[in-house]
């Protein structure tokens, strides 16, 4: 039986985080009433002329620099001619011959190791409008029309849905670190066209390409890839022919369906955009943008392991979101050397639990890095114990403030006075003679119960380690 190779390439469209549209001054506020953020330019009225958004150019170049692309110092725009209901002027201003960024790539981590997925180019264009389908009619919302849209075109270097997911997740993380886009898939900030082909093993030329358009969820992309790969493999194994076409994913049916025959570049009748001058970027400007780049996520993970002594797993979780990594590092620096792992533990367990329960990001809560650092330091110096710290954290998370002030105001300091604790231990033993007998009979877990009773008597303020030692000494003396 013949074996077949799967080849996948992705064209990822990313809406850029600008205040206004690509060629006009209309707002990009998400959720506005349909067709309210529009003007003669983005609606394509005759005689209306485009004016280029400089910030969109900068964000595209920054993206290219983050991805290791070469930057074209001379870049041009073209007209891509086609008619759809979502394109009011019957053409799209895009880049065909001279895109802003070329080359580069994304490193993905797979179980078998790291590998590099190459990028062919990144070009800048305007987004189309959004078609909304209802039970008996459809409507076109032109608020989205004209949004600066960056298209990142990968080389056909992927061979499985898992690799495609790793690529998209790594790409999204890099773009979020760069601050070029919200990358919110639910709001359509990030969408992908997926190109798939299969060919017999040993054949150099790629098979016939099928494109799945406008996928805006990672889960949908994964499912569509699984289905389409299986469909193509079943067809060629029976001697069938794959037709070059564009298909859409139908999630309710769990299958791809034909939309139209696949266009080629000549079908769009590209020609240079006559109403825009070329983009010229001097070396000094590109150098300035390069100098302001943030640290790449992969480099940050490695540095955090080395600098704070945390495991690779912790660094991966913390660095997944830039704001979480920023918060952790600020708190860890406050604590000083030796407490990096402790800060990591608190953030990854207690803080992330509170974030998840409240459906918030770290920027949306009142807890500050300084407060978390002080809380960790108070526990480390045995001013308060862990249970007390865990009781304080939700309040700090919701209302802010500093834990030291709360501890002082409420008298929450840990009881570490041996004579005071010995009295509480005596009370616990006297109140629970059966547990003492169980311990002497060999049931060591009884000591834990007695420690708990002492903690209750102290209203949670006793030093648990000291209590454990005193209970063990007292039981040993009675044995």
Closest CA to 56 of 102, 94, 12, 105: 94
pLDDT band per the 50, 70, 90 thresholds, residue 186: confident
pLDDT band, residue 452 (cuts 50/70/90): confident
Q: Is the pLDDT of residue 421 over 70?
A: no
Give yes or no for residue 434 having a pLDDT over 80. no
Q: How far apart are CA 134 and CA 2, in angstroms?
A: 46
Residue 212: which of 199, 200, 227 has the closest Cα?
Answer: 227
Report the candidate in 84, 93, 79 with the shortest Cα–Cα distance to residue 129: 84
**In this predicted structure, what is the pLDDT of residue 456?**
77
Residues 433, 434, 439, 442, Cα dihedral to 10°: 150
Mean pLDDT, residues 86-96:
92
The proportion of the chain whose per-residue pLDDT surpasses 90, expressed as a percent, equals 74
Res 414: pLDDT? 57
Tell me: pLDDT of 326 over 70.
yes
Is the pLDDT reported for residue 86 higher than 80?
Answer: yes
pLDDT at 264: 64
pLDDT of residue 61: 98
CA atoms within 13 A on the CB side of 345: 11
Share of the chain above pLDDT 70, in %: 94
Poorest-pLDDT segment among 221-235, 298-312, 420-434? 420-434
Q: How confident is the model at residue 248 (pLDDT cuts 50, 70, 90)?
A: very high
Q: pLDDT grade, residue 370 (50/70/90)?
A: very high
- Cα Rg, the chain, nearest whole Å: 30
- The string of pLDDT tens digits covering residues 158-181 is 999 999 999 999 999 999 999 999
Q: Which CATH class is domain 418-478?
A: mainly alpha
- The mean per-residue pLDDT over the stretch 361-366 comes to 96
Q: According to the model, what pLDDT value does residue 334 have?
A: 94
pLDDT at position 417, please?
Answer: 52
Res 458 pLDDT > 80 = no
Please check the confidence at residue 415 and state whether its pLDDT lies above 60.
Answer: no
Q: Is residue 350 scored above 60 in pLDDT?
A: yes
pLDDT digits (tens, 9 = 90+) for 266-325: 678 999 999 999 999 999 999 999 999 999 999 999 999 999 999 999 999 999 999 999
pLDDT of residue 180: 97
For residue range 17-29, what is the model confidence (pLDDT) as tens digits? 999 999 999 999 8
Give the model's confidence band at 420: pLDDT under 50 very low, under 70 low, under 90 confident, else very high. low
Residue intervals of the chain classified under CATH 1.10.10.410 are: 418-478
SS (HEC) of the chain: CCCEEEEEEEEEEEECCCCECCCCCCECCCCCCCCCCCCCCCCCCCCCCCCCCHHHHHHHHHHHHHCCCEECCEECCEEEECCCCCCCCCEEEECCCCCCEECCEEEEEECCEEEEEEEEEEEEEECCCEEEECCCCEEEECCCCCCEEEEEEECCCECCHHHHHHHHHHHHHHHHHHCCCCCCHHHCCEEEEEEEEEEECCCCCCCCCEEEEEECCHHHHHHHHHHHHHHHHHHHHCCCCCCCEEEEEECCCCEEEEEEECCCHHHHCCEECCCCCCEECCHHHHHHHHHCCCCCHHHHHHHHHHHHCCCHHHHHHHHCCHHHHHHHHHHHHHHCCCCHHHHHHHHHHHHHHHHHHHCCCHHHCCCCHHHHHHHHHHHHCCCCCHHHHHHHHHHHHHHCCCHHHHHHHHCCCCECCHHHHHHHHHHHHHHCHHHHHHHHCCCCHHHHHHHHHHHHHCCCCECHHHHHHHHHHHHHHHC
Q: How confident is the model at residue 418 (pLDDT cuts 50, 70, 90)?
A: low
């Amino acid at each position: 039986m013949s074996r077949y190779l799967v080849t996948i390439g992705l064209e990822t469209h990313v809406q850029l985080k600008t205040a206004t549209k690509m060629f006009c001054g209309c707002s990009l506020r998400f959720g506005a009433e349909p067709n309210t953020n529009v003007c003669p330019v983005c609606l394509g009225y005759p005689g209306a002329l485009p004016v280029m958004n400089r910030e969109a150019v900068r964000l595209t170049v920054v993206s290219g620099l983050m991805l290791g692309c070469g930057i074209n110092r001379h870049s041009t725009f073209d007209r891509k001619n086609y008619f759809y209901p979502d394109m009011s002027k019957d053409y799209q201003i895009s880049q065909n011959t001279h895109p802003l960024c070329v080359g580069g790539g994304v490193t993905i981590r797979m179980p078998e190791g790291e590998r590099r997925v190459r990028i062919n180019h990144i070009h800048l264009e305007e987004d189309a409008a959004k078609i909304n389908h209802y039970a008996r009619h459809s409507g076109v919302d032109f608020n989205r029309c004209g949004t600066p849209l960056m298209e990142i075109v990968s080389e056909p270097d992927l061979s499985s849905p898992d690799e495609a997911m790793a690529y998209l997740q790594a790409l999204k993380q890099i773009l979020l670190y760069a601050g070029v886009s919200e990358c919110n898939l639910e709001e359509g900030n990030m969408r992908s066209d997926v190109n798939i082909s299969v060919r017999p093993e040993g054949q150099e030329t790629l098979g016939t390409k099928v494109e799945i358009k406008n996928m805006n969820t990672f889960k949908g992309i994964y499912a569509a890839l699984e289905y389409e790969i299986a469909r193509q493999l079943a067809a060629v194994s029976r001697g069938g022919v794959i037709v070059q076409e564009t298909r859409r994913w139908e999630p309710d049916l769990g299958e791809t369906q034909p939309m139209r025959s696949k266009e080629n570049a000549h079908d769009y009748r590209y020609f240079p955009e006559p109403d825009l001058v070329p983009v010229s970027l001097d070396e000094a400007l590109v150098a300035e943008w390069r100098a302001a780049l943030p640290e790449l996520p992969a480099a940050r993970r490695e540095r955090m392991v080395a600098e704070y002594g945390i495991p690779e797993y912790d660094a991966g979780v913390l660095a997944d979101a830039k704001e979480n990594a920023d918060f952790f590092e600020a708190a860890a620096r406050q604590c000083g050397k030796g407490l990096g792992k402790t800060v990591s533990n608190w953030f990854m367990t207690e803080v992330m639990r509170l974030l998840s329960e409240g459906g918030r990001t770290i920027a949306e809560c009142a807890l500050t890095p300084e407060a978390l650092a002080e809380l960790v330091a108070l526990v480390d110096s045995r001013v308060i114990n862990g249970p007390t710290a865990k009781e304080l954290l939700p309040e700090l998370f919701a209302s802010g403030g500093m834990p030291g002030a709360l501890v002082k105001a409420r008298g929450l300091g840990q009881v570490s006075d041996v004579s005071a604790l010995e009295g509480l231990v005596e009370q616990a033993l006297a109140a629970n003679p059966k547990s003492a007998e169980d311990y002497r009979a060999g049931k060591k877990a009884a000591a834990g119960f007695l420690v708990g009773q002492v903690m209750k008597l102290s209203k949670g303020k006793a030093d648990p380690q000291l209590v454990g030692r005193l209970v063990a000494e007292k039981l040993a003396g009675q044995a």
